[in-house]
Amino acid sequence: MSPLSSRHIVLARHIPGRPEPEHFRLEPVEVGEPGEGELRVRTLFASVDPGTLSRLGGVDSYAPAVKLGEVIGSAAVGEVLDSRDARYAVGDVVAGGWGWREHAVVSAKGLRKVERGAESLSAELGVLGIPGLTAYFGILELGRPKEGETVLVSSAAGAVGSVAGQIAKRQGARVVGIAGGAEKCRWVKDALGFDAVIDYRSETDLGAAIRRECPRGVDVYLDNVGGTMLDTTLACMALRGRVVVSGLVADYGVPPEQRAGLKNTPFLIIQRLRMEGFVVLDYFARFGEARVALRGWLQDGTLKHREHVAEGLESAPALFAGLFRGENFGRAVVRVG
Amino acid sequence: MSPLSSRHIVLARHIPGRPEPEHFRLEPVEVGEPGEGELRVRTLFASVDPGTLSRLGGVDSYAPAVKLGEVIGSAAVGEVLDSRDARYAVGDVVAGGWGWREHAVVSAKGLRKVERGAESLSAELGVLGIPGLTAYFGILELGRPKEGETVLVSSAAGAVGSVAGQIAKRQGARVVGIAGGAEKCRWVKDALGFDAVIDYRSETDLGAAIRRECPRGVDVYLDNVGGTMLDTTLACMALRGRVVVSGLVADYGVPPEQRAGLKNTPFLIIQRLRMEGFVVLDYFARFGEARVALRGWLQDGTLKHREHVAEGLESAPALFAGLFRGENFGRAVVRVG
């Protein structure tokens, strides 16, 4: 074992609004040898997550802010090059959260071994990773749709929304998605089997479109977007509707005074709504159970997913910036190895 | 029995913003004889409720909008003048919802008999009426403070807030109120026994004041105000805090585009907040149980309340308009009889 020449991506400038590639810097780095209880890994895939933006503005959020010069955090899958932990052998594949690095030395704690199964390894970052788990617990624990209820999902072609809608369908709900562009909408309806889909780019009145596709109101809204889309939907909820707030992409990096703001708050009372924010890591103790279910549905072909794979760690900043323009189609990951 | 010359107050003009007395009209009316199953009553007290404004703009809310020329709804207590229902005798005192009328013919259904007990009859409209019940279910069913948790109550000198804070104290919570003006604040702290009180009129930074008085964050916020006060408090909530939205006085009569809007929505996720709107009538089946508890606390002296009584039905519009300037101190009622 000896130091390894590698590269990683750090935060070059705090991001006050929308991200651009120049907010990041690709740097060479020497990756040392693992200590006791550590592994050295070669990254195969790293995730590119919209939620990361909430940590790049220099202000602490549900996770501490990333400092200038710090490596960007993300989920990652890699191959073990050197192991100083008895549970892992060279050649094993592990998943962890070591971020945008081509190689890393990581503690064996907090890793999990990935079986090379029927799914691609990148699925560990998407449908079997944080997005899939967010969908699973967001629908089954918070939204809890009953048979025949209407579930609305924003970012329906995205990593969370696509899985959430399919899980809601399994529960017997009528599922309506919101997505941007004809191609995504077609996939959501035809491949994922949503009952209806709303193309927010082609609708002039989103509220009217939601009421048209959800004529009895929305019983469960799983929201990743926030902002005006959330506000509009509040006015379309059914009695005792549940709004599950799993992400607020529209608000990330936007100073409070510039946000659209929720103005339809009277509907909270009128319709007796419950609006709940959640962080999937709170369900960590149940991730195993959820992954067994998700993997089973993947393997029997009833759960579809889609990835947007860019080549090389260096492509991560541009892919990240594109997330906020809706440019990705499917779970965004970079293939590093 | 013969028709009775009486007066009532109707909606003269829809109210687009804040109410003024000229939006209402006092009219003479002949009140006929009760039919089978009906009573004729003489009003003793009628309530003046901020929530009524949500129905006076011409737009349906959680209750249908009041039409021009219709009598303003409210809770009322009255004496039975004529009875065509075997359960009620002349001279009985009943509570119901017949509104701003000096006399009324009402169905015996939906009335309840009031015992002339230790409390004043007007208490039936306040601490034993909808406001007291809202406080009871808002705290005990939705907020559910645990011992040692911090409960923040807006409109703490008001009909809901004053009772809510005292019930939260009974649950062992640390209770902080927000009220306007030194006199109200003194009453909330000294007479009601809140642990601390914030005078929103004298604080330049309400958020800083909330953080000062709630150093471990707010576990339960019972809100009657909405608007900027709700938005500010969202940023001061503790992990897994519950926001109980029982009224949004700041938003009543304000068109959505002119509302301040909630901009601190990221705290929903950061702190895993649950925000829930409720209408106390949903707990109708349990009103009896709640009144037994509230009456018991009144009688043993552990529940304090305060009323702002104006004389004569004709004083209702000005009292109503004053509610939105914080002019009342205690539950607003008019003594009619």
Q: Are B131 and B163 in contact (CB under 8 A)?
A: yes
B187 and B98, same domain (yes or no): no
The pLDDT tens digits for B54-68 are: 889 887 766 789 999
Q: Which residues contact B124 (CB under 8 A, 6 or more apart)?
A: B45, B75, B77, B95, B114
- For tokens 């191609």, the residue is A183
B207 and B275, same domain (yes or no): yes
B169 and B276, same domain (yes or no): yes
What is the amino acid identity at position B83? S
* B319 within domain boundaries: yes
Q: Do B269 and A251 touch (CB under 8 A)?
A: no
B157 and B56, same domain (yes or no): no
Query: What's the CA gap between B196 and A73, in Å, rounded?
Result: 42
3-class secondary structure, A199:
strand
* A290 within domain boundaries: no
What is the amino acid identity at position A93? V
Cα B32–chain centre separation:
31
At residue B198 the predicted structure's pLDDT band, cuts being 50, 70 and 90, is: very high
* B290 within domain boundaries: no
Q: What is the DSSP string of A22-78?
A: GGEEEEEEEE----TTEEEEEEEEEE--GGGGGGSSSS--SSPPPPTTPBPP--EEE
Q: For strand A218-223 and strand B174-179, is the pairing parallel, antiparallel, or unpaired?
A: unpaired
Most B CBs within 10 Å: which of A225, A233, A243, A269, as the mutation test of the B interface? Answer: A269
Q: Are A45 and A125 in contact (CB under 8 A)?
A: yes
Q: CATH number of the domain at A185, please.
A: 3.40.50.720
Other CB atoms within 10 A of residue A203 CB: 14
* B297 within domain boundaries: no
* A297 within domain boundaries: no
Min CA distance, B166 vs chain A (Å)? 23
> Does position B119 have pLDDT exceeding 70, yes or no?
no
Residues on chain A touching B277 (C-beta within 8 angstroms): 267-274
Q: Do A245 and B268 touch (CB under 8 A)?
A: yes
Cα A323–chain centre separation:
11
* A288 within domain boundaries: no
Of A98, A52, A101, the C-alpha closest to A75 is A98
B8 and B120, same domain (yes or no): yes
Residue A101 per-residue DSSP state = B
Query: What's the CA gap between B213 and B187, in Å, rounded?
Result: 17
The pLDDT tens digits for B220-269 are: 999 988 889 999 999 999 999 999 999 877 777 677 888 889 999 999 99
**Mean pLDDT (chain B, rounded):** 93
- For tokens 């997913």, the residue is A305
The pLDDT tens digits for B36-89 are: 999 999 999 999 998 899 889 887 766 789 999 999 999 999 999 999 999 999
3-class secondary structure, A297:
helix
Residues on chain A touching B265 (C-beta within 8 angstroms): 226, 230, 245, 248, 251, 259, 262
Residue B113: domain span: 4-126+305-335
Q: Which residues contact B325 (CB under 8 A, 6 or more apart)?
A: none
Most B CBs within 10 Å: which of A265, A274, A283, as the mutation test of the B interface? Answer: A265
pLDDT score of B259: 85
pLDDT score of B118: 58
Of B281, B296, B325, at which residue does a domain stop?
B281
pLDDT score of A117: 65
3-class secondary structure, B211:
helix
Of A269, A271, A274, nearest to B274 by CB-CB distance is A274
B55 and B83, same domain (yes or no): yes
Residues on chain A touching B252 (C-beta within 8 angstroms): 266
> Does position B207 have pLDDT exceeding 90, yes or no?
yes
Query: What's the CA gap between A127 and A111, in Å, rounded?
Result: 18
Torsion, Cα B120 B122 B127 B131, to 10 degrees, reads: 180
Tokens encoding A229: 């889309």
- For tokens 């009619």, the residue is B336
- Helix (H) / strand (E) element for A327: namely none
pLDDT score of A58: 84
Residues on chain A touching B259 (C-beta within 8 angstroms): 261, 263, 265
* A293 within domain boundaries: no
B193 and B89, same domain (yes or no): no
B217 and B106, same domain (yes or no): no
Q: What are the 10-residue block averages of pLDDT along chain A, 337 residues in total?
A: 91 92 97 96 95 86 85 96 97 96 96 80 92 97 97 95 97 97 96 97 97 98 92 97 88 78 92 95 95 94 94 97 89 93
Of B177, B185, B227, the C-alpha closest to B202 is B185
β-bridge partners, A223: A245
Quote ipTM for the complex. 0.89
Q: Are B49 and B66 in contact (CB under 8 A)?
A: no
Residues on chain A touching B266 (C-beta within 8 angstroms): 54, 61, 226, 248, 251-252
Of A252, A257, A269, nearest to B277 by CB-CB distance is A269
Tokens encoding A21: 């590639």
Residues on chain A touching B231 (C-beta within 8 angstroms): 261
Q: What is the DSSP string of B117-149?
A: -SS-GGGGGTTTSHHHHHHHHIIIIII-PPTT-
Q: How many CB pairs under 8 A join A and B?
A: 110
Q: Does A144 touch chain B (CB under 8 A)?
A: no
A320 and A272, same domain (yes or no): no
* B15 within domain boundaries: yes
Q: Does B283 touch chain A (CB under 8 A)?
A: no
A115 and A134, same domain (yes or no): no
B9 and B69, same domain (yes or no): yes
Of A192, A186, A43, the C-alpha closest to A121 is A43
A42 and A153, same domain (yes or no): no
* Alpha carbon distance, N-terminus to C-terminus of chain B: 19
Q: Are B121 and B92 in contact (CB under 8 A)?
A: no
Q: CATH number of the domain at A32, please.
A: 3.90.180.10
Q: Which residues contact B115 (CB under 8 A, 6 or more apart)?
A: none
Q: Which residues contact A151 (CB under 8 A, 6 or more apart)?
A: A139, A143, A145, A164, A165, A168, A173, A174, A175, A176, A218, A219, A220, A221, A222
Domain count, chain B: 2
Query: What's the CA gap between A156 and A162, in Å, rounded?
Result: 5
Q: Do B277 and A271 touch (CB under 8 A)?
A: yes
In Å, what is the CA distance from B128 to each residue of A227, B75, B135, B154? 40, 11, 10, 20
Q: What is the DSSP string of B162-179?
A: HHHHHHHHHTT-EEEEEE
Q: Do A277 and B279 touch (CB under 8 A)?
A: no
